[in-house]
Each structure stands twice: as C-alpha cells, then as structure tokens.
Chain A
Amino acid sequence: MADLTGRTGERVPTVPTVPTVVVDGIDVVYRVGGTGAGRGSATAALHRMLRRPKTGKASGVRRVHAVRDVSFVAHRGEAIGLIGTNGSGKSTLLKAVAGLLPVERGRIYTDGRPSLLGVNAALMNDLTGERNVHLGGLAMGMSRAQVKEGYQEIVDFSGINEKGDFITLPMRTYSSGMAARLRFSIAAAKDHDVLLVDEALATGDRSFQKRSERRIRELRERAGTVFLVSHSNKSIRDTCERVLWLEHGELRMDGPTEDVLKEYERFTGGPDRTAPRPKPAPRPKAAPTASP
C-alpha cells in the first residue's frame, strides 16, 4: 500500500512555518429546499409563490448557515483535530477546505489539492467488491495501471477474503463492517498532499481498527498536513498536536490539543462522560423554523 503512487515518503519534521492551508474568513451556507415553509398543501404553496415570489423563506428554501467567518492557517507537518458537538460544522468545514463545497464568502488557499479520505459515494452496492475497487480507485483519480497494481494490496488490507472469496460477491451482500472495511481500504490506497479524515477510524473490528490507525499514521507521515474530525478525544490526543473547536459554525478555540480539549471537556460535561445530552436542541439563530 505504501508505494501506490511511487512517492518517497520522506518528510523531515520541520518547524511549522510553511503554510499549506490558509482559510480566510469563510462562510458556508446550505440551501435546503422542501422544508419549513414548503409544508402545507399544494394550493398553499401556490399561494405563497404568487404572493411573494422571490424572498428566501417564502419560496420554501431555507438557508442553513453552517460555517461562519472561520479563519486559520495550517502549516506543513501539522496534524490538526477538529472537534465540536454534532452539527457544529466540522464536516462542512472539511469539505470546504477540500474545495468540494463552494464557500459563500471568504477564500481558502491551499498548497496542492486537499483530499477527503472517503470514496463511499462512488461505490455501487449492486456491483462486486472487485469492480468497486476498480471504480473507487478510478474515481479517486488513480490511473488504470495504478489500480491494477494496488488491487491485491487493497483486498488484502481490507481482509475481505479472509473468510472466503467474498470480493467477487456484490457489495450489498456484505455485512456493514465488511463494507466499511473495504471502503476504508480503497480510500486509503492513495497518497495525499493535504489529507482530510472524517471519522474514518471507527470502522471495523479491533484488529482492523489497529491496522487502519497505523495506515492513517503512514498517510500522515507522507501528507503535508492532516485534518482529523473525530468525537473520540482519545484519537485526537493520539494523533493531533493542534485542535480547532467549532461550535455553531464558529471557531471557538484554536490552540494546542491539551488546552482546547480541557475547555471542550468542561463544556460538554466532564471528560469521558458519555451521558446523553438533552437532545431537542434549541434552534440555531440563523435557521429559525419558518411559520407560514
């Protein structure tokens, strides 16, 4: 797996001075149709359309302000953790950094092309694992020769064939754990300049988790910068020296892992407490439910 792109992975740990990702005051806004004001009968919708044709809420489109005015600079050789409660905008920020989600305001500058570790969307459940390895590899921008070369390593790493010839069966027949392992193996088969990892470490059984953590470390050694989204403070502590804390789409804290995690744990109610927080969350200010 290590030499799929044939790059030598020698990265001397330098003093973090060379910026690889510069995020300059970005806002990301989702537009969601068919909610809130879109409720009601067809005639009501028609009525709304006729009365106020263009204004945001009246047309049944809600704007969800997922990331607000976030700025930071990431340097070569840094591993940065992203933390925050559910729906705080971590994954959205990651996708914006990857250049996959257009930003509403602000700019993101990157060195090379940041890649999200994830290939799920390109895979098809009705196809065999074998064909999905090919399809996923091509979707990530590998050449046919690279896919062919890396094929056996991907299959071996996933361990799909440990219990029989499963790679030639359609993916829909896999258990959820097996499918997740194959997806991770395909995604991790490529080297990246700036690597963005979104909760990928929690798949598979214990032995696979160990293997995938090792793989992430390898990837990180060869990538310039790694971003890691996780709800496991332990894996953040293990991998990252710097942490960004997002809350309601705003950057709440940015600093050394220990400092930020201490604040965050205090905020979420003590370390290692997994007690469910009161869930019906108060409505975010930016996206109030529209009352027709």
Chain B
Amino acid sequence: MSQVLDAPPPTPAPAAGAPGEDLAALAARHGLSVSGARPTLSAYVRQLWARRHFIGAFATAKLTAQYSQAKLGQLWQVMTPLLNAAVYYVIFGVLMQTKRGVPDYVPFLVTGVFVWTFTQSSIMAGTRAISGNLGLVRALHFPRAALPVSFCLQQLQQLLFSMAALVVILLAFGVPPAPSWLLAAPVLVLQFVFNAGVSLIMARVGAKIPDIAQLMPFLLRTWMYASGVMFSIDRMVSAQSDLPSWLGTLLQANPAAVYIDLMRFALIDSFGGSHLPPHVWAVATGWALLAGIGGFLYFWKAEETYGRG
C-alpha cells in the first residue's frame, strides 16, 4: 500500500461538476428523499406494525436457538425455572426455614423471583439491543424499535414457560386454583408494556454509551432489593413505624413491586387485597403507559443515529 501514498494523485474526481447547493437542488427537483432520515411518528408506528411478524419470529428464533445444542432441547425452557425454584426452596424453605411472617412463603418467593426476572432480563436485553446487534442494524432496514421490543417479547415467552412451572409449584404447595388466576394475564400485559418502554429507553442510552451495560447489573440488583422480591413490602412498611411515610409510599409505588404484588394477589389465595397498596391497578396502568409511550418517543427521537459504532 505504500505506493498509494507515493503515487502521483490523479485528477480529483469531478464531483458531478457541481457544488453542494446544486446537488441538493437537483435532488429536490427530482423528488429524492434524504436517505436514513427519521420517519414521522405515525409512519414509524406503521413501519413497526408492518414488521410485527419479524418481531415475533425473531423473538421465537432467539428463544429456540438458546437450547438447540442441549440434548434435552426445549425441555430446558421449563427445567430452568423449576431448578431455579428448587434452589430457592432448599435455601429459604428447608435450610433457613424463612417465613418472614408470610404464609405460603415459597410460592410467594418464587412468584416474586419469576416476575422480577422478567423485568430484569428485559431491561438487560434492551440495553444491549442496539449496541450488541450493530451487524444487523448496519445490514438491513427496519424500524430499530423492533429490536428492543423483540427482546422483550422473547423474555415474555420465557416467562410463560416459567409460569407453567409456577402452576406446578403452586399446586404442589397446596395453593388452590382460583378464578383470580385469570388476572395474571392483564398483569403480564401491563408489565410487558412497562418493560418494553424501559428497554427502549435503555436501548438508546446503551447505543450511545455501551458502558452502561456494565453498570446495569448493579442498578438492577439495587432495584431488586427495593422491590420486595424476597419480603413483603406491605409488612415492612406497617411493621416499621419509624419509616418516613414518603419512603413507604415510594416503595409501594415502585413499578416492579406493583407488578410483583399484583401477580401474587392473582395467584396466591393467602395474599389478599389488603396487602396491595391503594389504587394499585391505576398505578400499574399508569407506569405501563408512562414507560411505554415515553420510551417509544424517546427511542424514536434518535432513530436515524443508530448504527454508528
């Protein structure tokens, strides 16, 4: 390549013999559009909707690819959450005999862990959705929001397998099936919208600053301990009277805690409505809409910049 520098420079290319303004005018005259420009919000929503099959297929493909090398194959989709639950059962149920004043502690704990894992892995996957898939972003046209949404959908599918395992655990611990189990569906929908919104936000941040992916596990763990995965927030708030009331309200309004407690309320009969904070469904819907719409707008605002390494 050394000749490259030494070779006499040939005549520079005649840039179509026109200065910049003329090229722009030429493009305008023939009705050409700017390549890689951000579509309008309504066009973006339409594009995303048109790609719904890709979003679904991509999520399922990722999920399937996960265990395709294992001998037991897709059986691991159910085995993994069951084994997870078994570990918690051994540690908290058998070794430590933890109750923390909660009846049906093991179902309580396992529900919390599964529901929390859904939010946690959605956000982690969202953080890497753009920065970890630059090859895809630089190879094909599609609304980039398809990636974080698809990753959240993958986690939702994963959670559905976990829920199947959870039903087995609930029955094994003598929790009777009840019509309230149907409430799990709206909770999952709301939680999915919330997760997708936060993932979209984190995807944009992660695309700009990949380092955030190193920081997220710590933030998420802190969030987990504040979300009552292993204890009842309601009990803690009422037991510790010295806790400032605003802190109690804050803990109870925490979206992760709201979704976890709603799921417990739906599935575990001993976890009655008295354990739920006031206006819980409104809070759950509010968080979903706030994160969902806000996250989508925030992500769309930078649509044309994704792909720069």
Contacts and interface: CB of A to CB of B under 8 A. Distances in A.
B23 A24 contact: yes
Q: Which of A19, A170, A277 has the most CB of B within 10 A?
A: A19
A119 B139 contact: yes
Contact of A100 (B24, B61, B137, B210): B137
Contacts of A268: 3
Interface SS of A by simple majority: mixed
Interface stretch (B64-72, B78-86, B219-227): B64-72
B68 A248 contact: no
Contacts of A119: 139-140
Given A100-B141, A139-B142, A85 B1 contact: yes
B139 A73 contact: no
Interface string A255-292: 00000000100011100000001110110000000000
B263 to A, nearest CB: 32
B245 interface: no
A33 to B, nearest CB: 7
B140 A116 contact: yes
A114 B15 CA distance: 21
Contact of B307 (A24, A101, A124): A101
Q: How large is the interface on B (under 10, 10 to 19, 20 to 34, 35 or more residues)?
A: 35 or more
Interface in A64-89: 71-73, 85
A121 interface: yes
B274 interface: no
A221 interface: no
Shortest beta-carbon contacts, A-B, top 9: A99-B36, A109-B27, A109-B32, A71-B15, A126-B65, A99-B35, A121-B135, A138-B54, A108-B35
Given A18-B30, A121-B135, A127-B65, 19 more contacts: A20-B32, A71-B23, A73-B16, A85-B4, A100-B138, A108-B34, A118-B140, A121-B136, A121-B140, A124-B65, A127-B64, A138-B51, A139-B136, A244-B13, A248-B4, A251-B12, A267-B4, A268-B3, A277-B1
